[in-house]
Chain A
Amino acid sequence: KAGVTQTPRYLIKTRGQQVTLSCSPISGHRSVSWYQQTPGQGLQFLFEYFSETQRNKGNFPGRFSGRQFSNSRSEMNVSTLELGDSALYLCASSLGGVAKNIQYFGAGTRLSVL
């Protein structure tokens, strides 16, 4: 079974631009969660989508948004990029029925904002 696939692996953007990251979950998984990893803040939860609906949201500004498609694939968008948005963005998928479902992570997208 294929794992979680994130594209692209690396991105370089400049301040003020916007970016879209993509995540394809494990086949059969209906929940997709997004996390941001930075050296200072560690792994922080962004949001979770389940059956095309946002089910949970972390403490991030509205510039961070996402969506999920009917095939469970998800995209994350960051608008008006700031230098502090430079981070590793990780996507995780799970069956999604309950919180104790194990989340499986992709390799991440490394975003650098210049």
Chain B
Amino acid sequence: DQQVKQNSPSLSVQEGRISILNCDYTNSMFDYFLWYKKYPAEGPTFLISISSIKDKNEDGRFTVFLNKSAKHLSLHIVPSQPGDSAVYFCAAPRGETSGSRLTFGEGTQLTVNP
């Protein structure tokens, strides 16, 4: 049961434009979400997170939006840069007492063209 889904395996944008990466979830118990970026031959790097008590969190060029009613979140990157080309994963931990167990989406390969 894939509780976190990223339906777009790939996304290509021009440098300077906005990149929007989407993520859907089915488990209504999820109340915290994270985005990670992964380059080849490296481990995932934490980017930004959002708690379910918020609908938006911003950090520099990165903004994450959460729509709880739709069980949908999105990561906006503005402006996109070639160095942003990587695989992006959304992830959710399972509850307060279940320790550090992340459920990941399948990932979206972002390519930013110069």
List residues of A whose CB falls within 8 A of some B CB.
4, 6, 31, 33, 35, 42-43, 45, 48, 50, 55-56, 58, 90, 92, 94, 96, 98-108
Most buried by A among B34, B41, B97: B41
Whole-angstrom distance from the CB of B32 to the nearest CB of chain A?
5
A43: chain B residues at CB < 8 Å are 44, 89, 91, 102, 104, 107
Q: Is B60 an interface residue (CB 8 A)?
A: no
Contact yes or no, A90 B44, CB < 8 A: yes
List residues of B whose CB falls within 8 A of some A CB.
32, 34, 36, 41-46, 49, 51, 89, 91, 93-107
Per DSSP, chain A at the interface is: strand
Whole-angstrom distance from the CB of B35 to the nearest CB of chain A?
11
A42: chain B residues at CB < 8 Å are 104-107
- Do A33 and B93 contact each other (CB < 8 Å), given the known contacts A105-B43, A108-B43? no
26 sample A-B contacts, Cβ–Cβ < 8 Å, listed by A number: A31-B99, A31-B100, A42-B107, A43-B89, A43-B102, A43-B104, A48-B100, A48-B101, A55-B99, A56-B98, A56-B99, A56-B101, A58-B101, A92-B102, A96-B100, A98-B96, A99-B94, A99-B99, A99-B101, A100-B32, A100-B93, A102-B34, A102-B49, A104-B46, A105-B45, A107-B43
User: Closest chain B residue to A9 by CB distance?
Assistant: B41
Contact yes or no, B99 A50, CB < 8 A: yes
- Do A103 and B100 contact each other (CB < 8 Å), given the known contacts A42-B106, A42-B107, A43-B89? yes
